[in-house]
Amino acid sequence: MTGIRDLLRGRKKEQQPPDPLAAELPAAEFHLSPAGEAYRKLKHKLHLQILAKVDLASLEAMPENLLRLEIANLVGQMLAENPAQINDGERRMLVRDIQNEMLGLGPLELLMADASVSDILVNSYNQIYVERSGRLELTSVTFTDDRHLLRIIDKIVSRVGRRIDESSPMVDARLPDGSRVNAIIPPIALDGPVLSIRRFAVVPLKMADLVNKHGSFSE
């Protein structure tokens, strides 16, 4: 545990290995989002402990696959030293969620991984809708609180050289995949931070789809 910084620095240029824990997680299980209070507290605790131990500056220069593997190993060591009452499925999801917190968009990574989702609408930290095939659906995915949501919003906008705060409470940005992002925070947003992500279709619509599949046009 004490050598994690040296471990991270020493493996910067090594070949990117696959993440064995990610491979263990079945596709159907990938979309599960444990909402239990005990699970959220454990995830938050481990996340803070990792942030305190890892040299964040070294993380930026490392390949993502290697980072995910190191985070998985570190979570496994922490759980071994301080056993928690979780089963194997929850343990794999815990690793996945902490990886997403540190390297991605936190809980939103589950929705971004779903190719059928065209829009993500975060009305509040605990109310997230998605659009699939033109229909809005309420998801079971949530953030811990407003601060958690605000931290993810700040991560999104800072990656493109923007800032969001009380003096500039509304920001438009883009994700690396081209998705359009709009974020609004207090004082403009009265009930806490809100966020929308409009994605591009993985498979673009063709004229034949509009005519034969969706009935948007007559032949």
Joined tokens for residue 157: 């906008």
Compute the distance between CA of residue 71 and CA of residue 204 in angstroms, rounded to an integer: 35
The string of pLDDT tens digits covering residues 12-38 is 334 444 444 444 443 333 344 444 777
- Residue 117 — very low, low, confident or very high, per pLDDT cuts 50/70/90? very high
Compute the distance between CA of residue 178 and CA of residue 189 in angstroms, rounded to an integer: 25
Phi, psi at 10, each rounded to 5°: -70, -15
Joined tokens for residue 19: 């993440």
User: Minimum mean pLDDT among 31-35, 126-130, 162-166: which range?
Assistant: 31-35
CATH assignment of 111-198, among 3.30.930.10, 3.30.70.1140, 2.40.30.110, 3.30.450.370 = 3.30.450.370
pLDDT at 217 over 60: yes
Compute the distance between CA of residue 126 and CA of residue 144 in angstroms, rounded to an integer: 8
Compute the distance between CA of residue 12 and CA of residue 10 in angstroms, rounded to an integer: 6
Omega cis (within 30) before 186 = no
Compute the distance between CA of residue 80 and CA of residue 177 in angstroms, rounded to an integer: 37
The structural domains of the chain, with segments of one domain joined by +, span 4-103, 111-198
Q: What is the pTM of this model?
A: 0.70
**DSSP secondary structure code for residue 63 in this structure:** -
